[in-house]
Amino acid sequence: MGERRPLADRIEIGAPAVAALLARGLGRLPEPVRRRALQGAFDRARDAFNRGDMDAVFALFAADVEYGPPPPLRVGAQPLRGRAAVFDFWREVLERYERNTIENLSLGEAAPGRIVRRARLSHSSRATGETLAYEIVQTTERRHGRVVRQVNVLAPET
């Protein structure tokens, strides 16, 4: 990785328990401050994804996370179980597609600890010429500062 990670990413990767504790405190902040902090966290996740830094993207995923991959990339109907399975899934995607990008379109808190994001993703392979582009609605559930469940569904046409 040629690009230096932001300090917050380095803390999440190097001291995930501390980062989770800080994330827990997020729920106690006034709504406008909480909204800005969440937007900043999802913008950092976007930047990490776009540079292929999956360690930073999934740093605060719980060891036993339940993960529903984006439908265009999903192999089976069952959600993935565990952080290691999520890493394996994305490692395979990164091997198949050299260029992977995500663009945050909207972000909101549906309930305490439940964040809903709409995003546009694209994946392309120079080797095969394959390109895949789609929009998702992603629901992320956090508990004790960790992501315990994340589900991606295709976004409805607008």
For 74-85, what is each residue's pLDDT tens digit? 877 789 999 999
Query: How is residue 79 written in tokens?
Result: 């959600």
Tell me what the mean pLDDT of segment 18-36 comes to.
83
Predicted confidence at residue 3, as pLDDT, reads 64
- What mean pLDDT do residues 23-28 have? 79
- What was the pLDDT predicted at 158? 67
Pick the CATH number of 7-154 from 3.20.20.70, 3.90.650.10, 3.10.450.50, 3.40.710.10: 3.10.450.50
Q: Is the pTM of this model over 0.75?
A: yes
Q: How confident is the model at residue 125 (pLDDT cuts 50, 70, 90)?
A: very high
